[in-house]
Structure 1
Amino acid sequence: MSTEFPTYDIKAFQRHEPDTPFYMTPLEKLVKEFKGIDKSHSHTFYLLMWITQGSGKHTIDFRTYDVQPMQLYFLTPGQVHSWELSADIKGYNLFFEPTYFRARFSNRLYQYPFFHSHQHRPLLEMKDTAFVTLYDLMYAEYTAQSVNRSEVFLSYLHIILEKANRTYQQEWPGESTQYYNRIRQYEELLEEQFLDVREVKNYAEQLNISPNHLNSICKSLLGKTASQLLYERICIEAQRLLTHTDLSVKEIGYLLHFEDPSYFVRFFRTHTGHTPLEFRESQNH
Structure 2
Amino acid sequence: AAFLFELLGMYEEAGKNMQQSGGRRHEHFEAFMASLRQHYKTERSVEFYADKLCISARYLNLICRELTEHSASECISDYVAMHIALSLITTDHSILELSEEYNFSTPSYFIRFFKQHEGMTPLQFRRRKGGKSRSGFAFPLLPEASLD
**Is the counterpart of residue 278 in structure 1 residue 121 in structure 2?**
no
Unaligned runs of 5+ in 2: 131-140, 142-148
RMSD of aligned C-alpha atoms?
Answer: 2.6
**Is the counterpart of residue 176 in structure 1 residue 21 in structure 2?**
yes
What is the aligned counterpart of 1:201 among 44, 47, 58?
47
2:117, 2:32 → 1: CA distance? Answer: 20
Letter of the 2:11 partner, please give it: H
The Cα of 1:264 is off from its aligned counterpart by: 0.4
Aligned to 2:109: 263
Query: In 2, are the aligned partners of 1:175 and 1:221 still within 8 Å (CA)?
Result: no
Moved over 6 A (4+): none
CA displacement 1:213-234 (0-9 Å, x = unmatched): 0100100110001111111121
What is the aligned counterpart of 2:2 among 48, 59, 80?
59
Distance verdict in 2 for CA 1:62–1:258, change over 3 Å: farther
CA displacement 1:94-146 (0-9 Å, x = unmatched): xxxxxxxxxxxxxxxxxxxxxxx573358xxxxxxxxxxxxxxxxxxxxxxxx
Q: Which has the higher helix share?
A: 2
1:211, 1:217 → 2: CA distance? Answer: 10
Letter of the 1:223 partner, please give it: E
Question: TM-score with structure 1 length normalisation?
Answer: 0.40
CA displacement 1:5-63 (0-9 Å, x = unmatched): xxxxxxxxxxxxxxxxxxxxxxxxxxxxxxxxxxxxxxxxxxxxxxxxxxxxx523374
Distance verdict in 2 for CA 1:230–1:59, change over 3 Å: same
**Is the counterpart of residue 120 in structure 1 residue 63 in structure 2?**
no
Letter of the 2:30 partner, please give it: R
The Cα of 1:274 is off from its aligned counterpart by: 2.2
Aligned to 1:135: none
Query: In 2, are the aligned partners of 1:243 and 1:280 still within 8 Å (CA)?
Result: yes
Query: In 2, are the aligned partners of 1:269 and 1:276 still within 8 Å (CA)?
Result: yes
Unaligned runs of 5+ in 1: 1-57, 64-78, 80-116, 123-167
Query: In 2, are the aligned partners of 1:61 and 1:236 still within 8 Å (CA)?
Result: no
Letter of the 1:206 partner, please give it: K
**Is the counterpart of residue 221 in structure 1 residue 62 in structure 2?**
no
What is the aligned counterpart of 2:37 among 182, 187, 191?
191
Greater relative contact order (CA < 8 Å, ≥ 6 in sequence): 2
